[in-house]
Structure 1
Amino acid sequence: MAPLNTSAEPSSVPIPPHTTIIELVDQSAAEGGAKDKNGGTESIVATEAGDATTIQVVAKPGAQVIVKDNRGATKQVPVAAAAAAAATGHSMVVQVQEAAANVKDKSQSTRPIPTPAPPSHTTIIQVSGQKADTNATDKTTSPTPTQAAPGHTTIVQLPSQKAGDVSVKDTNASSKSAPAPTPGHTTIIQIPGQKPADANTKDKRGPAAPATAVPGHTTIVEVHGADASAGDHSRSTGKAPATAPGHTTIVQVPGQKLADVNVKDALGYTSLHRAIENGDVTRIQVLLDEGADINVKQDSWAGKTALTEAVAEGHHTVVKLLLDKGHNIDAKDTTGYTALHWAVEKGQIEVIKVLLEKRANLEVKESQGSSPRGATALHLAADGGNETIVRLLVEKGADMHATDSRLGLTALQMAVEKGREAVVKALLEKGADFRAKYQNGYPPRGATVLHSAAENGYLEVIRLLVKRGADIHASDDLGFSPLARAMKAKRLDVVRLLLESGVDAGGEDARLAMHIAVTAGNESLVRLFIDRGANVNDRDSTTGFSLLQQAAHLKHDAVVKLLLEKGADVEAKDDPAKEKKKTPLWLAAEAGSVTIVQMLLQRGAVIDQRCSEGGQTALIVAAKNGFEFVVRALLEKGANVNVGDDESFTALFRAAESGQTAVVRTLIEKGANINAQLTGWPSGGHSQGNTALSAACYRGHIEVVKLLLEKKANMHLANSTPLVYACLNSHLAIVQLLLEHGATVKEMSDSINHAARDGSVEIVKLFLDRGVSVKNMDDGDFPLMEAAWRGHNEVVQLLLERGADLEQRTVVTGGYNGPLDQGTALWHAAYWGENAATVKLLLDKGAKIETRSTRDNRTPLHGAAAEGKEAVVQVLLDKGANVRATDGKGQTPLQLAQAANQAGVVKLLSGRS
């Protein structure tokens, strides 16, 4: 057998999972087979699809291969097809038996056939015609020379040496003889024919041999002659460094020269990087002696140099060794960090000391990422809050006034931004400039570190700065002082500290801060402001509220008490220039604070002061909101129970309207006029003459209605029929209650139209059953018309069943624009309504389709056409309405539709005239 060809260039194609190893046999055949448009033959396509399980490759270029598929059938395919199958991973077993291992793929690029399986599905490779021991077994596999071992390891047998057992120790340290690797993460490989390795040698994970311990994810492909070749899980077989990827161990054949030590593994690491990663000083020394490049960078995202790798791992002994060997101390890796930057970031104090002893440049700025900060080592230490490192760097001469490149921040500014109290103290002790101002927008230009500390609430940092003499009144470029910044951020503890440090309590910033303190209910801080001279009656510039109004409105009892003790104006209004504005008492009553109401009354607040735009008193607003205890407190202090607001609404009316049963009871007990009627033109859907009972009926508050009826409220007052208001919103239960309490037929007659209009078939039926006429007229209208034009078909059906007259007409004598049209239910439904089904129902029941209105002499079709009611027009047309009929002005329905631009109706009527 010829020796294995190792002169081929390493393939750049990564070995895919389940890699096929190919057996070379001495057979010849011409390459054949029809080619597709991409240059691939049918056979290539077949093998790429995984048709074969065992591939035999002929040694000669351009030859054919014999393929046996999973059904046992054989056929010949080109060598390139075999290589494609190897690359796509469709077979499991490999023996390399011939020299010419190079094949051409279908892109005509020459590369060695991939031999080892990747780390997760490893394969034993036997080289140069040597026979493996088929009798050896491990603890998890059957004896076979070609079986992939579980785990992450590959064993390689050297060419030109006698095959034999390989001494292996697994992770359980049990020894065995096996050609296959043991399961787990570590395999010790002994080179057959050479002196066994020292089995007692250990690496950092356990027993290992100095020759070829292969821990972790390692794959060793071949050790041939004087070179050590290796493959990893993402590269093709070829020359590789003596360390393999994963948990790497150097592979060295005793007495032979190491492979190229500067070749990088799949992750872009050289052997030196891997050795440094593990802190293996002996191995590092060997690699350096063998010519390892000390300044080469990793091909990883970090692109670390040997030195920055050693620093990041904290191996200060390795750092010293590398520097002694001439490594550039200030070299940057791909991250833009020098060794000193890494040491500071990782907090490696011993490494920092080594670097400082070797005169690392303290002022080099990092250039990390796409948006580098341009920070020095001191910036990084200050930002990270490492006081010890900060002191060490400053003692060695680091410039405390240096600014970073992005925001122009000093180390002190960075430390303050993060609230690094210990670092701030250290820098201040060393003379850092606390007066330096920010320049790049945030914090705002012109701000000092005191502004920043105040806004962020760093009390101890503020104390340090103030103690050093920081200006507590300094303004930034926006005019804000530290106090204003603290106030804006609602840092009341900072506000207190600054006041205690001498800030003027009467200044504009202090005024704003005091209002914020009142709003927050911070009594002790408000006291501090007042004790330092703040105006107790100061007003908010936006709302006009005094401090007392703010506190009363927000129910801050303690602040109200303090302000009253300090002489706050108990009658202060939010706009003194206007009458009827809200006093502190009114605001407290509105908020429901009985304690504050009592305090204000004790201080002489005017109890019946009419406030707000509606002229409500404190009693009215408290009653409306249902604050019974406030109502009682006010009544006990003499509030007028029957006083009305500007629209004559009393406390009882508002309480009844809002359903406040307990308050209604209290007011009645305290003498409220239960039958008081509204005067003038009240708002809110109410009418002149309405009472508390009608208001409760209108809103549907049945419990209040029951209480008022129990207290003998009059339900028969003129202009105040509670039954009408109950029907307006179809409150059936209240209607029934009122009927039980003696509602008259007259009142029901006045109410049935409202019930029909609202579509309440139950109430309409109830009234009809109690004797109300189905033809009842009220203000010229009748129930059928009310239900019809609003489309309440159920009510229409009921009324017709009870004898409603389809030809009954409305009796209307006037309106806003003079006399209104009078007509039947059908006419109103067609003209005013939207429900075509109602029109059809009335016609089906016998309504006259050509009925006319009394004013304009129009038919239902005229009305529907003029109003653009297409569905109604269609129903009328279907029922035979006369399209040529003219109204009092001689106009047809079509003409009316055209005049009103009712295109849809015009389309329906066109061609029918």
Structure 2
Amino acid sequence: MGAPLLYHMFKSKTNFPLHSAIRLKREDVVFLYLVDNSNELTMILNSLDNKGDLPLDLALQAREMSIATTLLENGADPDCRDTHGYTLLHKAVNRGDDHAAKFLLENRASVSLVTPNNGDTALHLIATCSPETTLEETISAMAEIAQLLLDRGLNPNLQNKMGFTALHLAVMAQNEELFSLLLSRSSTQLIDMNLRTLDGHTPLWFALIRTTGSELYSCNSFAARLVEKGAIPNPIYPANGNSLLHLVAQEGLEDAGLFLCNHIHNIDHINRKGETALHLAADRDLGRLITKLLECGANPNIQTLPPEIAALSDEPELTVYRQSCMHRAISGGNLNAVKAFLEHRVTAEDSKDSIVANLNLRDSQGNTPLSLALSLGMQNIVADLIQGGADVNTRNGEGLTLLHQAIKKQDVESAIFLLNQGANIDAKTMSEETPLQLAILYNMPDVVEALCRRGIDMSAVDKYNNCPLWAALEFGREDIASILVKNGVDTDHWSDGPEGCYQTLLHRAIDENKEQTAKFLVQSGCDLNTPRRAGPGGRGGEEAHDQQSPLHLCCQWGLESVVQTLVEHGANINVKDAEGKTPLHIAILNQHHSIISLLLCHPFLDLTVPDKNGLTPFATALSCRNNKAAQAVRDKLPTAAEQFDSKGRNFLHMAIQKNDVESVLFLLSIQVDVNSRVRDTNQSSPLHLAAETGNELIVRSLLLAGARADDRDGHRRTALHVAAEAGHAAVVSALLQNGTDYDATDAEGDNALHVAVREGHLAVVRALLTESRLDAEAVNLKGRNPLHTLARYAKDNAFTICELFIECMPEYPLDKPDLEGNTALILAYTKGNGNLCRCLVKAGACVGAMNKDGITIFNYQVASNSKTLLKRLLDNLSQEPPWVEGDICLECGTKFGLTMRKHHCRHCGRLLCSKCSGQEVPILKFNLHKPVRVCAVCFELLHVGVS
């Protein structure tokens, strides 16, 4: 098709006729377009079509150099950029178009323009051509373009936005041709081999990471050639202080590290953490690199820096510092690294220049490599470390030896291994704990056995003053305790107890109610009978002097199982404490019935042993009302209840005297002898004692149990006598109701009424008079009836008792004399009991009676020579009293005969002679209106009255 027609078609059918003509390679149509648009060529020739293509770029891609030349001649810009900001040169290089690139360079295209995104020059783009993705011929062609770029003055040290130079990129892409080109021009164009990327990397870093194995050691390797051309072999990274050697070690690039070792001198350079490359090699378990570094003189004993210095870096704060290379190797569990350090120690023994790893350096936590290995469970290297010179007794920051640490980790194998390696068995922790104490704490029987076999002190106490045996039992580890016992531990271990006294472990176990512990100690052969004792200087309270054996203590606290164990192992069952009490006494006092039963089964138990108070076990049971125990003791010893104390009393007697109803009832329930007598001069029966105490319930209980109501004591008194004497009316009633002999008399002939009136017990008198048919007129051996006795003893209530007599017995013989001739009135008068005298006179007692000594109430000499009482008695006479008979005058004593007639005083009834009754006077109160004979006393009274 002709050019005009085609041009016309392009104009009418497309928006970009020029671009279409170039694509069809129609230079003639291009010419027509240029002529037709000559006024706007500059703008048109540098405009992009809808595909983003430039006319000049289309011509170069189509290899239409004549069209390209025409476009340039008419104003096309060789440095024009496409929509992405790439120049035509950038695009030509990217597509490997060396023809286009050369054309542009020959037509003054700029060599230093960069891409907008990465800031790459054309040289950077060429450098990225990798043999892996680009054809060899293309790489070669691009190398020629690179040479042209350099020839035209492009600075080879220009860095893109990431800081990469063309050399960096060539190394990264393994672009041998460009790399060689750049190295060859290093002398003429001063190519900087040590420029850093924004990450701080030099080309050497990329050479090292892109090359592995034996290639790296070749003189033709990128790394070797860079170093040869002046690349610094171990540059420092300012951000963290790492060297290149640090970096390759950190990344695990062992071959790269080995390469650098042959070229660097600052092999012990430390970063901001204080780490050398050797530390990082140990972190990554790079055994070959570690060996090489050590051979090159690296110091394995440099320790990392403390946090305040390490904090200057951007790294997170370190928690552990002062770590040596060996620490780091062990921390990471890196066996190759550990092996390398240990092997170097062996090979460097004869060398004075080599620095070997110090296996006893400590990190900030106080761990040596050996202790660290144990703490991390790396037992497989412990032996090698010790063989290599590590101190088996070294301590960590917590003051723990390796043995302590192994025990705390419950690592039995390591602990025994350390013991076999000579670990110090006496070393203590900062808390004063021995290995034995730790082994007990962490329940390691095998370790305890091993320690005991090596002679460890089994008596050493911990901070709580506990010996190993106690600690084992405290934790419930009897297997360990058995091991200690088997190896000869002291099962007593005397130590401080309450208030400073001395006690054994058995005492302590019992005192703290640790039954299982106590049983174990007994079964292990501890002292079974020794009581606590005073501490140094007599220290100790009651416990130091109570002389209580372990069996006593068990009976006190109710530890039945321990009691059984003690008894089974031969503890003295009859041992006494300071108060003379046996264990059975203590068990009874504390109401521990199961223990009591257990002790009673013992064949050698002595139930007759009294304490210092004279109490046998049976008596103790009664005293504390432990009836169940008392029954059990009596079942074992039937005569227990019949035992007598030093006063001749048995338990029933004492219970009655204490008014202990419960004990009495108990004793009666076990059928003790209710008629047994006190073994003293009184010979009192239980009923006598009960009558004396006045407990009606006890009295009735005794009677129901078969007590003989009429038993007599040593003074021939019945219980009724005793109750009457004590004034217990209720008891008297009880006895009367149960058929006692109410007329029984004692050794003096007194019956119960005699006794009651003598003591002035009105209620008892009333009971006797109203509840029985007692002979109230009975006389005793002195001829005295109860009224005589009442008058003779003259109690304050004698008047009331006398009234009761008269009330109950109106015909009572008031004037009956005793053996001495005394009537009740004479006795009352001589005792000065006016009330009783008045009562008797009022009841009709004869006022003129005389006893055998010639004494009457008229001639009895009173203290004040006053006859006031007599006069009052006479004045109170309301009826003519009975006449007194006799043989003599009661006033002058004249004996009556044929010549001396008898007369009576009609007022007082006395027998008088005529002379003594010569006065006459009427007695109106007797209805005697005519004068009658009266004595001088009555005459005066009747005329004058009571003055």
TM beyond 0.5: no
TM bracket, shorter-chain basis: 0.3 to 0.5
Larger relative contact order, structure 1 or 2 (CA cutoff 8 Å, min sep 6): 1
- TM-score normalized by the length of structure 2: 0.37
| More helix per residue | 2
Normalization by structure 1: what TM-score? 0.39
